[in-house]
Amino acid sequence: MQAGNLHKWALQRRDTSSETETVPGPHFEQQYLDLMRRIWREGGERKDRTGIGTRSIFGATLRFDLAGGAMPLITTKRVYWKTATRELLWFLTGDTNIRPLVLQNVKIWNEWPHARYVEETGDEIALDIFVERVREDEEFAAKWGDLGPVYGKQWVDWSTYQPVAGGLFRKGPGINQVAEVVDSLRDNPGSRRHIIEGWNVAEVPQMALPPCHKTYQFHVEGNRLNCLLYQRSCDVALGLPFNLWSAALLQCMIAQQVDLEPGELVWMGGDTHLYLNHEDLIREQLSREPQGTPRLEIVRRPPSIFDYAIEDFAVHDYAPHGPIKAPVAV
């Protein structure tokens, strides 16, 4: 299947004996559904850390053209793009505690600190009770709501260490990779070093979940900003729709900040999988037809990449099928 420019209804010309007519090209989402179908039919079954098991392939690529505000927002089930946006904005703060998300009713990360709390205390409280304690009790949240140095910490405060006397080291200033990429895109757009990296080998053991969407590289082509995201591990049914939205949104935000137009988003997956207990979700989603062409509008240009708010984003022409629920593998 042709992968480029799938986010527009590209017009393909077809000649007939009497006239030339136009027919719509494949919907941008078709490549996502084809990937899901391929994994479920051809993927090898693997044991994984969750104990649930997956069907998996290694090495997958999707491409989306973001011209004209087009976004890879999946339509065969409702994707809660505001939830994913709030998570992205939280990453950009460098915070690693779930409480700011909980206060916005964002549930993405709740299971991991809850599991740690139950394991370390032996108090098998229900998830909803744990989350309510995080919401209401700042001291409890400070102790039990932290995820370790996950995404945002690495993005905007990568740890450095400076040598001192006697062969010792002291903590140095953190590196704000996001700010550096914005500056380098402005000052040296032809560089091949516009990279945001989340995989800090020294700190991975301290993370509740090591980064899945780990490496972002940006590339300037004329007046367009392209982005390549490498994801080491990808839950295609539950995770990938959020990951595609967030990567495209970050690309659009950075493009606005450096006076470029959004170009192509290239997504690459390492272990690209479906969980065996998601069969009902998969079959239902594959039975649905994609519909519509969602578009993003950024309604304000804030002073910096770190000053966006949820109110700065609007989505048009998004009329998805209904949501499909499935359990999260922790």
Report the pLDDT value the prediction gives residue 238, as an integer from 0 to 100.
Answer: 95
Mean pLDDT (the chain) is: 92
Report the pLDDT value the prediction gives residue 2, as an integer from 0 to 100.
Answer: 42
Q: Bridge-partner residues for 225, per DSSP?
A: 220, 262
Q: Does 84 score more than 60 pLDDT?
A: yes
Nearest partner of 79 among 222, 227, 286, 285, judged by Cα: 285
22 band by pLDDT with thresholds 50, 70 and 90:
low
For residues 141-165, give the mean pLDDT: 96
Q: Does 12 score more than 70 pLDDT?
A: no
As a whole-number percent, the residues of the chain with pLDDT over 70 amount to: 92
What are the start-end ranges of the E strands in the chain?
11-15, 20-24, 44-46, 54-65, 161-163, 169-171, 195-197, 213-221, 224-235, 261-275, 295-298, 313-316
**How many whole angstroms separate alpha carbon 40 and alpha carbon 286?**
11
**How many whole angstroms separate alpha carbon 211 and alpha carbon 204?**
8
Q: Does 15 score more than 50 pLDDT?
A: no
- HSE (side-chain half, CA atoms, 13 Å) at 49: 5
13 band by pLDDT with thresholds 50, 70 and 90:
very low
> What is the tens place of the pLDDT at every residue in 257-300?
999 999 999 999 999 999 999 999 999 999 999 999 999 999 99
165 band by pLDDT with thresholds 50, 70 and 90:
confident
Residue 314's φ and ψ, nearest 5 degrees, are: -135, 145
Q: Does 158 score more than 90 pLDDT?
A: yes
Q: Which of 212, 227, 234, 252 is catalytic?
A: 212
For residues 2-30, give the mean pLDDT: 53
Q: What angle do CA 282, 288, 291 make, to 5 degrees?
A: 130
**How many whole angstroms separate alpha carbon 163 and alpha carbon 44?**
48
Q: Does 17 score more than 90 pLDDT?
A: no
Q: What angle do CA 238, 244, 250 make, to 5 degrees?
A: 135
Q: Give how far the C-alpha of residue 182 lies from the chain's centroid of Cα atoms, to the nearest Å.
A: 19
**How many whole angstroms separate alpha carbon 194 and alpha carbon 184?**
7
**How many whole angstroms separate alpha carbon 142 and alpha carbon 146?**
7
Q: Does 254 score more than 70 pLDDT?
A: yes
**How many whole angstroms separate alpha carbon 278 and alpha carbon 326?**
6
Domain residue spans of the chain: 11-94+176-316
Is the pLDDT higher at 133 or at 48? 133
Q: What is the DSSP letter of 311?
A: G
For residues 169-198, give the mean pLDDT: 97
The yes-or-no answer on residue 252 being catalytic is: no
Report the pLDDT value the prediction gives residue 77, as an integer from 0 to 100.
Answer: 97
24 band by pLDDT with thresholds 50, 70 and 90:
low
CA torsion through residues 213, 186, 87, 33, sign:
negative
- HSE (side-chain half, CA atoms, 13 Å) at 276: 11
As a whole-number percent, the residues of the chain with pLDDT over 90 amount to: 87
Q: Bridge-partner residues for 62, per DSSP?
A: 267
User: For 116-152, what is the HEC assignment?
Assistant: HHHHHHCCCCCHHHHHHHHHHCHHHHHHHCECCCCHH
**How many whole angstroms separate alpha carbon 258 and alpha carbon 183?**
8
User: For 12-51, what is the HEC assignment?
Assistant: EEEECCCCEEEEECCCCCHHHHHHHHHHHHHCEEECCCCC
**How many whole angstroms separate alpha carbon 229 and alpha carbon 264?**
11
Q: Does 20 score more than 60 pLDDT?
A: no
Q: What is the DSSP letter of 320?
A: P
Q: What is the DSSP letter of 304?
A: S
Are residues 20 and 14 in contact, defined by beta-carbon separation less than 8 angstroms?
Answer: yes
Instruction: Name which of 23-27, 74-78, 146-150, 300-304 the model is least confident about.
Output: 23-27
Report the pLDDT value the prediction gives residue 14, as an integer from 0 to 100.
Answer: 38
Superfamily of domain 11-94+176-316: Thymidylate synthase/dCMP hydroxymethylase domain (3.30.572.10)
Report the pLDDT value the prediction gives residue 166, as an integer from 0 to 100.
Answer: 87
Report the pLDDT value the prediction gives residue 261, as an integer from 0 to 100.
Answer: 98
